[in-house]
Amino acid sequence: MINTALKPYNKKVDVNNSFSVYYLDNKEVKSTFAEDVKKGLTAENKYLLPKYFYDNEGSLLFEKICETEEYYVTRTEASILKKYSIDIAKYNHNKHLLVELGSGSSVKTRYIIDALKENSRNLHYVPIDVSDIMISSSKQLVSKIKGLQISGIIAEYEEGIECVSHLFNEPKLIIFLGSSIGNFDLFHAEQFIRYISTKMNYGDSLLVGFDMVKDINVLNAAYNDKEGITAAFNLNLLNRINKELDGNFNLDNFEHLSFFNTEKKRIEMHLVSKTDQCVSINGIREVIKFKKREKIHTENSHKFTPEMIAEIAAYSNLHYSKYWTDEKNYFNLCLFTKM
Ligand SMILES: C[S@@+](CC[C@H](N)C(=O)[O-])C[C@H]1O[C@@H](n2cnc3c(N)ncnc32)[C@H](O)[C@@H]1O
């Protein structure tokens, strides 16, 4: 079924009475995986974009990272949501529309959904994600939560929220969890939140999870778990290139490197070539040369201070209403409102 608010190249599929999926296929203006890989691997300082971590295998590996002893991020944010979701819902008592950017497995979202449902029997949840993991998690949610309506959007954040602003007009709470905001540096985080704010109506709220600057040993351990799951997640990017772009990366010839860059307040993830080598990627018609110890930069995960959060709020013209944190102040969940 085609919705008239959608552009012709997009489509809506009704999975069942309670769950529909919108596919936004914006290939005309968005670069493809092949184009981005070519650009990143032929650059002087090689890089790959972190949004490409999340194929099926990558999404499953991310879920496993969340369960590792060292990755405090998910556990801490979940503990704040468990404790304060009722309070968060009080600030959003008039909202029947919950939109989530980068929803993934939606596990932590359950706390917010349950709390909002206390005020609203007909809650409408709109998860936006580039990964199909959103479809399986949404199917589970609708089967478990009576009266929940889900309209999932397979798209990048910006296109997804733009689509929401066309399709749904009721007051909304937008959530952006997991400190995914940390994938942007401060300048781009400000630009991103400002863009999101342009898609908000007066009274709409935005709840963002920020991972805070903390003890460097805690940070380094979180991205270098003993079981090597983060390493496998990072290396899976090369696997994805092999599978989707007919590449011949030998994963044994690369290693995971992750460390906290104190000056830039960010965890950096890289893949390091263990040897001089050439890799062919037929799908982009390139042979990529690597020198021994040469790096591919795969992700930044910026950590925040209260001053940085206040700066983001000021730039976006949103009112910084309230924040919730844990005992160690490892993580802040901040609520911004359009006024
Ligand atoms: C770090 S995970 C966080 C998942 C979940 N929100 C959580 O807190 O556990 C990031 C999620 O955002 C999605 N994602 C990454 N980049 C994206 C983008 N540019 N647009 C939409 N989704 C994106 C990924 O597929 C993944 O599910």
Q: Where are the domains of the chain?
A: 11-23+95-215+304-337, 33-61+219-302
Tell me, in angstroms, the distance from the centre of ligand 1 to residue 310's CA.
24
Q: Report helix, strand and coil shares of the chain as percent, to nearest 5.
A: 40, 25, 35
- Closest atom, ligand 1, to C-alpha of 134: 27
> pLDDT tens for residues 62-93?
999 999 999 999 999 999 999 999 999 999 99
Q: Is any atom of ligand 1 closer than 6 Å to the C-beta of 127?
A: no
Q: Is any atom of ligand 1 closer than 6 Å to the C-beta of 134?
A: no
Q: What is the pLDDT of residue 207?
A: 98
Residue 32, both tokens: 């493809």
> pLDDT tens for residues 307-337?
999 999 999 989 998 999 999 999 999 999 9
Q: What residue's CA is closest to ligand 1, atom 16?
A: 51
Q: Does domain 11-23+95-215+304-337 have CATH number 3.40.50.150?
A: yes
Distance (Å, rounded) from C-alpha 241 to C-alpha 107? Answer: 29
Of 80, 129, 134, 162, best ligand 1 pocket probe by most atoms within 8 Å of the beta carbon? 129
Distance (Å, rounded) from C-alpha 221 to C-alpha 199? Answer: 37
Residue 51, both tokens: 């949004």
Its pTM stands at 0.95
Percent of the chain's residues with pLDDT above 70: 96
Alpha helices in 199-288 (DSSP H): 216-222, 229-245
E strands, the chain, are: 11-16, 19-23, 97-101, 124-129, 149-154, 172-176, 205-211, 254-261, 266-273, 277-281, 286-290, 295-302, 319-325, 331-337
Q: Is any atom of ligand 1 closer than 6 Å to the C-beta of 156?
A: yes
